[in-house]
Chains A and B, each alone.
Chain A
Amino acid sequence: MAGLELLSDQGYRVDGRRAGELRKIQARMGVFAQADGSAYIEQGNTKALAVVYGPHEMRGSRSRALPDRALVNCQYSMATFSTGERKRRPHGDRKACEMGLQLRQTFEAAILTQLYPRSQIDIYVQVLQADGGNYAACVNAATLAVLDAGIPMRDFVCACSAGFVDGTALADLSHVEEAAGGPQVALALLPASGQLALLEMDARLHEDHLQQVLEAASQAARDVHALLDRVVRQHVREAALLLGD
């Protein structure tokens, strides 16, 4: 069998999207009552759940408390049933730790942590089904959860991935496209200011093409922002209706 053709001559990707098109995104806020904030997102077949506690007092060792701002604590995990083959994933494996760190960096840049000195904000994210773009789904879910918790942020954080095939940048890679081994960029954007909260790439990409890929990724992130914005407004409208009664 010949290798998979990621982008056909007619400009279609394997799943029928064109280069700049996102997968279908669906999201809900406030899925759990016990947590301070929670959200669930589906990006194509990637499904993620985010829960936020805080800001609250430091738990565990108080020595970790920061005198001038809040500590953001992120934990990432994948469900055993999230991939095609069932696999036990213990807490604190390397990939999860790295992802947790990246999420932490992202949200430290977005949350106004200096408003809560000596306190802690916990963000727990779990991937229920993985089909490419795990980081992006987690960031988007966590953004919604943080908003749901009412923690002040500079802006939404919207993330999206992008790849590069045959001189064309592809937005929002699926698992098939990720597995093909081309370069992949993950980007988290603060859409209002256009600042990047995080940019990560772990393959080789020629310098000349970087701009093109970045533009595709940030355009995709802006599209995600429009969608998340609609979800938040819908949620607030519903909540307001309930309060009004």
Chain B
Amino acid sequence: MLQKREKVMHLRTFQGRTVRIVREHYLRPSVPCNSPLCPQPTRCRNDGKLLSSDVTHYVIPDWKVVQDYLEILEFPELKGIIFMQTACQAVQHQRGRRQYNKLRNLLKDARYDCILFANEFQQYCYLPRERGESMEKWQTRSIYNAAVWYYRHCQDRMPVVMVTEDEEAIQQYGSETEGVFVISFKNYLDNFWPDLKAAHELCDSILQARRERELESQENNGKEYPEHLPLEVLEAGIKSGRYIQGILNVNKHRAQIEAFVRLQGASSKDSDLISDILVHGMKARNRSIHGDMVVVELLPKNEWKGRTAALCENENDDKTPGESPSEPMPTGRVVGILQKNWRDYVVTFPSKEEVQSQGKNAQKILVTPWDYRIPKIRISTQQAEALQDFRVVVRIDSWESTSVYPNGHFVRVLGRIRDLEGEIATILVENSISVAPFSEAQMCEMPVNTPENPWKVNPKEEQERIDLRKTHLVFSIDPKGCEDVDDALSVRTLINGSLELGVHIADVTHFVPANSYTDIEARTRATTYYLADRRYDMLPSILSADLCSLLGGVDRYAVSVLWELDKNSFEIKKVWYGRTIIQSAYKLYYEAAQDLLDGNFCVIDEIPEFKEMDEKSRQAKQDELVWAIGKLTDIARHVRAKRDSCGALELEGVEVRVQLDDKKNIHDLIPKQPLEVHETVAECMILANHWVAKKIWENFPHQALLRQHPPPHQEFFSELRECAKAKGFSMDTRSNKTLADSLDHANDPKDPLVNRILRSMATQAMSNALYFSTGSYAEDEFRHYGLALDKYTHFTSPIRRYADVVVHRLLMAAISKDNKTEIKENLFSSKDLEELCRHINNRNRAAQHAQKQSTELFQCMYFKDKDLEIEERCIADGVIYSIRTNGVLVFIPRFGIKGAAYLKNKDGLVISCYQDGCSEWKPGSLQRFQNKITSTTAGGESITFSLFDHVTVRISVQASRCHADTIRLEIISNKPYKISETELSQQNSLLMKNELVKEVTRSVEEAQLAQEEAKVKIIQEEYQEYCQTKGTSLYTLLEEIRDLALLDLSSSYAM
């Protein structure tokens, strides 16, 4: 069976001695070859991923190719790739964990056609390293030998191409075996993939970057940065407490100077360091980039610096404002990087004038990343001029200690600067969101539902599921125009007099089996991305908008939770979980439901389900529905009261915020009086989530996916407390209940905005709720602070969130466990689940950022190019919510914008106001106090702005070529702006936002139309000149269809 060999190695110990180490090495006659051509599949035990059978050849990359060109091998167009174990180990040992993990994920991912062949454990492939043979030579020889074996193993039926960078190997092996070709990688791309332009470009740019790097390491003169310390020294230093480990966070507004290292929980043993560590200047940052895991050494106390509290614009000059910084805080310098966290960056090439100023060496070009926090990147390319007006994706290759800037290479073009599509693509790349359309393989898995071939309930499923179609009155309540209805409700009286409450959730897992292509894609996306004007679905629309959506009047599969409640006390007596078939009777929207609840029946005519009924049955149905909604509200009130009284919470702000969590838009301030129906539905969902969390935790105590909301740090509340004090309120932040109470009391009858701002500040002080695996936390850490529940999860929106899909699978497994038929194979182990949770949390954060950035993009496009003096909408009422040394932060309720307004401009002039409120710039000085800031002119006039003051601001856009445009505010009067109108618009603030998006979209479309007209003109001209076909060309037709798609999305955009 197994054959034993011995490997002898000579290793150097830390003390410098050499040790002879003998390791065993076992060989076996057969390892999985994962080829569909395998003559003996059972002997090879080919389980799992196989290579696809429709390739013309197999390609085996040499170790050097895997190390250097992995990015190109990642192209899905390249098929039939066999990674040899030798090559993978070369990556693991020489390229570090990051690239190795990338390779591992590639191998695991069913979408890529590549496999690993464990050649070193195969009896006939393994070659012992000969005496005096270099490691590199041996690796190449092993890989070639394995390639030959593989070719023979497939009975010479599939040619094998080995690509290598080693010229000697090409010479030596090139014609040794027929059917096994050895060529260089460049050659391979040229011959086999001449049309894959992107791969060629990438290859060229990698080659060029490598050449530059070699050249540079040769000249290797004066060093710009100190070298990083070796890993052992870092680890020893961290253990002894000399160094501190943490994540580097660059200050967005002072990217050149300030960066902070956030301590990681474990290393806070020495309790004297509670705050973050400041890293001052690029030198001290020592080549680490935002997001890297770094090791810092603290500087002696006399070199500590403070952070600046002044507002400042993102300019690259290091000129610090004359303001004295705050008191010194721990300061350090980076001595090493434990883990680099580089991703794809969007950059802009310098414009023509700037190129000239960069000198004659035009091959190397400094490009500016879109993200302020990333340093400029040096790119070697000849296309600089052509790429000037585009947003471009680049990757960083290296950052040598001899170079001021990191080296990178060009990857692909995104779109034109300032073009809506280009900017949106930029936002997506910057948040690492990839939303390619669903592939054919994924769509093939989808069920069909067309008018000719309608989807029907499967009779087999009908037997296995509980049928609620006849027995239950099920209805859904959602925002108006909602397409993806994933929850429905029901309530009825049982024969024994008790009530039965039901929450029915779309059964997504029925349509998406675990590890199918759709499932893998959904897992990668993790959530549906909502941008300001569009959304990117997690699941194909056939599921999200049709078969999984619990629409009215059609049969749908659901997963239901049914509670039996006492009819008077509403105590829960029994819970049932299971798969069901339902038919939603009514698809209501919130406002209609609220009207029905209030006894306002004229709304009935608007509900389509009622239209076709005759008067009599209509009355009966109407009574039934109104009773159900009323009962539901009673139950929800009771459940909520119980939650409150359990010594828990009355955190309305947080409550709504949690509800907003899915799309968490900070600008979306809480509607002042949400309809009670909102709360009813939310309460039912919370109840369902809570009970499901309990169920899956009980059944799988170590591998359930729950959601926690850790209690906030008290220090973060200090700003809130100070602000509240300014208005004369006291904030008790010791527990969630006291906080909620004090927030309720902090209500200024004259200015309702005060309460809203305070609430949003409290929200910001809290940490985010996160998904986690129960296996990796202690039970008392499971709590959800905001909802005051001991266990909570997400179960109710499987169409939009992948976490819910996982929870659904867990719940199904838990139910089958009850029925003694265990199906466990689809469950994640605690470790995998933890990794998945991290991924989902990460994606959620990315989704929030993308949404925020896209909203800001639209705001800027809305205000851009408006004549400041004439346009009325550029002037609005604002509230000061924070004070800085040279300005104030202002919140504009009408547009939901937050921004900075300077009290001192660049020329050193300060603001002053006349009697009627109009302001003017004059020389003078500023003085900052705790809750107010005073501006005194040279003439002795002074004016004070304090917290929560209303001012009139003018909104303008500060354009920026390399970065996102920003909103600029300018105080033009210290009096509130037309109070009556602002109050009116407050109620419409949400509406305003939608209009804003619509208007921007419309203007973009108009621009496109104009362009097209111009195009049509050109076509006509060309027709005259070249006698081309008249009429619509295919291109214009396609363009029209594209426009239609855009329109569709914007109108269906809801939620």
Interface set of A (CB-CB < 8 Å, partner B): 1-3, 5, 8-10, 12, 14-17, 21, 23-24, 44-45, 84-85, 131, 166-167, 174, 176, 208
Report B-chain residues with C-beta under 8 Å of the C-beta of A166: 831
- Report B104-120 residues with CB < 8 Å from chain A CB: 104, 107-108, 116, 118, 120
How distant is the Cα of A98 from the Cα of B831 in the complex, in angstroms? 35
Return the contact of A167 from the options B25, B107, B108, B831 (Cβ within 8 A).
B831
- Closest residue of chain A to B126 (Cβ to Cβ) is A16
Return the contact of B22 from the options A3, A24, A45 (Cβ within 8 A).
A45
B121 near A16 with CB under 8 A, answer yes
How distant is the Cα of A85 from the Cα of B23 in the complex, in angstroms? 15
How distant is the Cα of A21 from the Cα of B21 in the complex, in angstroms? 22
B23 near A84 with CB under 8 A, answer no
A167 near B829 with CB under 8 A, answer yes
How distant is the Cα of A3 from the Cα of B92 in the complex, in angstroms? 9
B104 near A84 with CB under 8 A, answer no
B6 near A16 with CB under 8 A, answer no
How distant is the Cα of A19 from the Cα of B13 in the complex, in angstroms? 29
How distant is the Cα of A131 from the Cα of B20 in the complex, in angstroms? 13
Q: A2-B92, A12-B121, A16-B28 are in contact. Are A84 and B2 (CB under 8 A)?
A: no
Asked whether any CB of chain A lies closer than 8 Å to the CB of B17, the reply is: yes
For chain A, what secondary structure do more than half of its interface residues adopt (helix, strand, loop), or is it mixed?
Answer: loop
Report A-chain residues with C-beta under 8 Å of the C-beta of B25: 15-16
- Closest residue of chain A to B13 (Cβ to Cβ) is A85
Report A-chain residues with C-beta under 8 Å of the C-beta of B96: 1-2
B118 near A12 with CB under 8 A, answer yes
Looking at the assembled complex, report how far the CB atom of A170 sits from the nearest CB atom of chain B, in whole angstroms. 14
Return the contact of A16 from the options B26, B116, B831 (Cβ within 8 A).
B26
Q: A9-B104, A10-B116 are in contact. Are A45 and B26 (CB under 8 A)?
A: no
Report A-chain residues with C-beta under 8 Å of the C-beta of B2: 16-17, 21, 24
Asked whether any CB of chain A lies closer than 8 Å to the CB of B1042, the reply is: no
Report A-chain residues with C-beta under 8 Å of the C-beta of B375: none
Would you list 26 pairs from A and B whose C-beta atoms are within 8 A, ordered by A residue? A1-B96, A2-B92, A2-B93, A2-B100, A9-B104, A9-B108, A9-B116, A10-B32, A12-B118, A12-B121, A15-B25, A16-B27, A16-B121, A17-B26, A21-B2, A23-B24, A24-B2, A24-B4, A44-B24, A45-B6, A84-B19, A84-B21, A85-B17, A85-B19, A166-B831, A174-B24
B26 near A15 with CB under 8 A, answer yes
Asked whether any CB of chain A lies closer than 8 Å to the CB of B152, the reply is: no
- Closest residue of chain B to A18 (Cβ to Cβ) is B28
Residue interface mask B943-970, A partner, CB < 8 A = 1 = 0000000000000000000000000000
New contact pairs (19) apart from A8-B118, A15-B26, CB-CB < 8 Å? A1-B93, A1-B94, A2-B93, A2-B96, A3-B97, A10-B116, A15-B25, A16-B2, A17-B2, A23-B26, A24-B24, A24-B26, A45-B6, A45-B22, A84-B19, A85-B13, A131-B24, A174-B24, A208-B702
Which one of A2, A8, A15, A208 has the greatest number of beta carbons of chain B within 10 Å? A2
A45 near B24 with CB under 8 A, answer yes
- Closest residue of chain A to B116 (Cβ to Cβ) is A10
- Closest residue of chain A to B93 (Cβ to Cβ) is A1
How distant is the Cα of A2 from the Cα of B121 in the complex, in angstroms? 21
B23 near A176 with CB under 8 A, answer yes
Looking at the assembled complex, report how far the CB atom of A219 sits from the nearest CB atom of chain B, in whole angstroms. 17
Report B-chain residues with C-beta under 8 Å of the C-beta of A21: 2, 26
How distant is the Cα of A44 from the Cα of B19 in the complex, in angstroms? 20
Looking at the assembled complex, report how far the CB atom of A227 sits from the nearest CB atom of chain B, in whole angstroms. 13
Residue interface mask B824-855, A partner, CB < 8 A = 1 = 00000101000000000000000000000000
- Closest residue of chain B to A22 (Cβ to Cβ) is B2
How distant is the Cα of A204 from the Cα of B12 in the complex, in angstroms? 31
- Closest residue of chain A to B48 (Cβ to Cβ) is A10
- Closest residue of chain B to A208 (Cβ to Cβ) is B702
Looking at the assembled complex, report how far the CB atom of B214 sits from the nearest CB atom of chain A, in whole angstroms. 23
Which one of A8, A85, A208 has the greatest number of beta carbons of chain B within 10 Å? A8
**Interface residue count on the B side (C-beta < 8 Å):** 32
Report A-chain residues with C-beta under 8 Å of the C-beta of B100: 2
- Closest residue of chain A to B100 (Cβ to Cβ) is A2
How distant is the Cα of A8 from the Cα of B86 in the complex, in angstroms? 13
- Closest residue of chain B to A209 (Cβ to Cβ) is B702
How distant is the Cα of A238 from the Cα of B825 in the complex, in angstroms? 51
How distant is the Cα of A176 from the Cα of B21 in the complex, in angstroms? 10
Q: A10-B32, A208-B702 are in contact. Are A5 and B23 (CB under 8 A)?
A: no
Looking at the assembled complex, report how far the CB atom of A112 sits from the nearest CB atom of chain B, in whole angstroms. 36
Residue interface mask B26-43, A partner, CB < 8 A = 1 = 111000100000000000
Looking at the assembled complex, report how far the CB atom of B865 sits from the nearest CB atom of chain A, in whole angstroms. 52
Q: A1-B93, A24-B2 are in contact. Are A10 and B118 (CB under 8 A)?
A: yes
- Report B54-98 residues with CB < 8 Å from chain A CB: 92-94, 96-97
Q: A2-B96, A167-B831 are in contact. Are A15 and B24 (CB under 8 A)?
A: yes
Looking at the assembled complex, report how far the CB atom of A12 sits from the nearest CB atom of chain B, in whole angstroms. 6
- Closest residue of chain A to B829 (Cβ to Cβ) is A167
How distant is the Cα of A5 from the Cα of B20 in the complex, in angstroms? 21
Looking at the assembled complex, report how far the CB atom of B777 sits from the nearest CB atom of chain A, in whole angstroms. 14
Report B-chain residues with C-beta under 8 Å of the C-beta of A1: 93-94, 96
How distant is the Cα of A23 from the Cα of B283 in the complex, in angstroms? 53
Looking at the assembled complex, report how far the CB atom of A241 sits from the nearest CB atom of chain B, in whole angstroms. 29
Report B-chain residues with C-beta under 8 Å of the C-beta of A14: 23
- Closest residue of chain B to A174 (Cβ to Cβ) is B24
How distant is the Cα of A21 from the Cα of B13 in the complex, in angstroms? 31
How distant is the Cα of A44 from the Cα of B23 in the complex, in angstroms? 9
Residue interface mask B2-22, A partner, CB < 8 A = 1 = 101010000001000101111
Report A-chain residues with C-beta under 8 Å of the C-beta of B116: 9-10
Looking at the assembled complex, report how far the CB atom of A216 sits from the nearest CB atom of chain B, in whole angstroms. 17
- Closest residue of chain B to A44 (Cβ to Cβ) is B24
How distant is the Cα of A84 from the Cα of B104 in the complex, in angstroms? 33
How distant is the Cα of A21 from the Cα of B829 in the complex, in angstroms? 23
Report A-chain residues with C-beta under 8 Å of the C-beta of B93: 1-2
How distant is the Cα of A131 from the Cα of B4 in the complex, in angstroms? 15
How distant is the Cα of A5 from the Cα of B101 in the complex, in angstroms? 12
How distant is the Cα of A72 from the Cα of B940 in the complex, in angstroms? 102
Report A-chain residues with C-beta under 8 Å of the C-beta of B120: 16
Looking at the assembled complex, report how far the CB atom of B520 sits from the nearest CB atom of chain A, in whole angstroms. 16
Looking at the assembled complex, report how far the CB atom of B14 sits from the nearest CB atom of chain A, in whole angstroms. 12
The 7 A-B pairs with the shortest beta carbon distances in the complex, nearest first, are A16-B26, A16-B121, A2-B97, A84-B19, A24-B4, A15-B24, A167-B829
How distant is the Cα of A14 from the Cα of B19 in the complex, in angstroms? 19
How distant is the Cα of A15 from the Cα of B120 in the complex, in angstroms? 10
- Closest residue of chain B to A166 (Cβ to Cβ) is B831
- Closest residue of chain A to B17 (Cβ to Cβ) is A85
How distant is the Cα of A162 from the Cα of B19 in the complex, in angstroms? 27
How distant is the Cα of A44 from the Cα of B20 in the complex, in angstroms? 17
Report A-chain residues with C-beta under 8 Å of the C-beta of B32: 10
Report B-chain residues with C-beta under 8 Å of the C-beta of A16: 2, 25-28, 120-121
How distant is the Cα of A174 from the Cα of B6 in the complex, in angstroms? 13
How distant is the Cα of A10 from the Cα of B49 in the complex, in angstroms? 11
- Closest residue of chain A to B6 (Cβ to Cβ) is A45
How distant is the Cα of A4 from the Cα of B336 in the complex, in angstroms? 22
How distant is the Cα of A8 from the Cα of B21 in the complex, in angstroms? 22
Looking at the assembled complex, report how far the CB atom of A62 sits from the nearest CB atom of chain B, in whole angstroms. 46
How distant is the Cα of A240 from the Cα of B93 in the complex, in angstroms? 55
Report A-chain residues with C-beta under 8 Å of the C-beta of B27: 16
Report B-chain residues with C-beta under 8 Å of the C-beta of A5: 92
Report B-chain residues with C-beta under 8 Å of the C-beta of A24: 2, 4, 24, 26
Report B-chain residues with C-beta under 8 Å of the C-beta of A174: 23-24
B702 near A9 with CB under 8 A, answer no
How distant is the Cα of A3 from the Cα of B231 in the complex, in angstroms? 12
- Closest residue of chain A to B105 (Cβ to Cβ) is A9
Looking at the assembled complex, report how far the CB atom of A117 sits from the nearest CB atom of chain B, in whole angstroms. 45
Looking at the assembled complex, report how far the CB atom of A166 sits from the nearest CB atom of chain B, in whole angstroms. 7
Report A-chain residues with C-beta under 8 Å of the C-beta of B17: 85
How distant is the Cα of A1 from the Cα of B107 in the complex, in angstroms? 21
Report A-chain residues with C-beta under 8 Å of the C-beta of B24: 15, 23-24, 44-45, 131, 174
Report B-chain residues with C-beta under 8 Å of the C-beta of A45: 6, 22, 24
- Closest residue of chain A to B34 (Cβ to Cβ) is A10
